[in-house]
Amino acid sequence: MRVFAIADPHLSRAHPKPMTIFGPGWQGHPEAFFRGWREVVGPSDLVIVAGDISWAMRLSEALPDLLDLGALPGKKVLLKGNHDYWWPSISRLRAVLPEGMYALQNDALVLEGVAVAGTRGWQYPPETLEDERILAREVERLKLSLKSLEGKPHRHLVVAFHFPPFGPSGEASPLLELAAGAHPQAIVYGHLHGADPAKLPQSYQGIPLHLVAADALRFRPKLVLEAD
C-alpha cells in the first residue's frame, strides 16, 4: 500500500470561496486539487488529509466537501486544521463519513500494517499564555494518539500535524520531539502557504519531514511511504 499526504484543500462547495485571493499558487483551485489527486492516487492507496479541509462553519455545509473527497480514489484519513470550524464531536463526524474515510482525534488508525497518528498542533514558539495552553493540550492529544497504538500491531508509522512541528528557525517543538520518540517513517504537516519547501527542515533525527500544503504540492498528493 502506498501512503500519500496532502493538507489544506480548503474546499467550499456549499459557499464557494475563491482561494486566488491568497496568491497565484491557487489558480485553478479547487478543480486542480481533484485532478491532481486522481492523477497520482489509486484505489488501494491511503491518503492523509492533514487539516483545513473545508471553509464550512457547520457539518451540514461541510458534508458536500466530505462526499467529494469520499468519491476520490483511495482510503482517506482526516486530521483537523485550524480553519475546520465545522468539525463536530468525533462520534458525530464519524457517523456521517463515507465508506473508506476515517477521522483522527486523540487516537490513531492502523490499516494494512500502516499506523497513522497525529494531532492538529499549534504555532511554535507560543506567543501568549493562551498559545502555551493550546500547545500543551496538543502535546497531550498526541500522547493519547500514540498511546492508542499500544496492542495494535503495525509495521509502519506516519505522524501527521496540521501546523508545522517546529519554529521559524527550524527549532523542534515538544510535538516534534514526542513524534520522533515514536520512530515514525515520516512526519507530515501543512498550514504553510507560499513557503519554499527547500528552505524548510527536511528531516529531524533522521526522520523525513514533509510539507504537504496543497499549494506547495501543486495540488498533487505527495508519496510519503511505500508499505511492504
Tally the domains of the chain: 1
What's the confidence (pLDDT) of residue 171? 96
Return the axis-axis angle of helices 129-147 and 174-181, rounded to nearest 10°. 10
Work out the average pLDDT over 180-190: 98
d(CA 196, CA 73): 28
Looking at every residue in the chain, the average pLDDT score rounds to 95
125: pLDDT strictly greater than 80: yes
- Phi/psi region, residue 202 (left: phi>0; alpha: psi -120 to 50; beta: rest), is alpha
pLDDT confidence tier of residue 227, bands split at 50, 70 and 90: confident
What is the reported pTM?
0.96
Range of the domain at 93: 2-226
pLDDT confidence tier of residue 196, bands split at 50, 70 and 90: confident
Work out the average pLDDT over 143-167: 97
Nearest to 37 by CA among 71, 13, 12: 71
What's the confidence (pLDDT) of residue 28? 85
pLDDT confidence tier of residue 24, bands split at 50, 70 and 90: confident
d(CA 113, CA 174): 27
Check which CATH number belongs to the domain holding 148 and give it: 3.60.21.10
pLDDT tens digits along 204-220: 999 999 999 999 999 99
What's the confidence (pLDDT) of residue 223? 98
40: pLDDT strictly greater than 90: yes
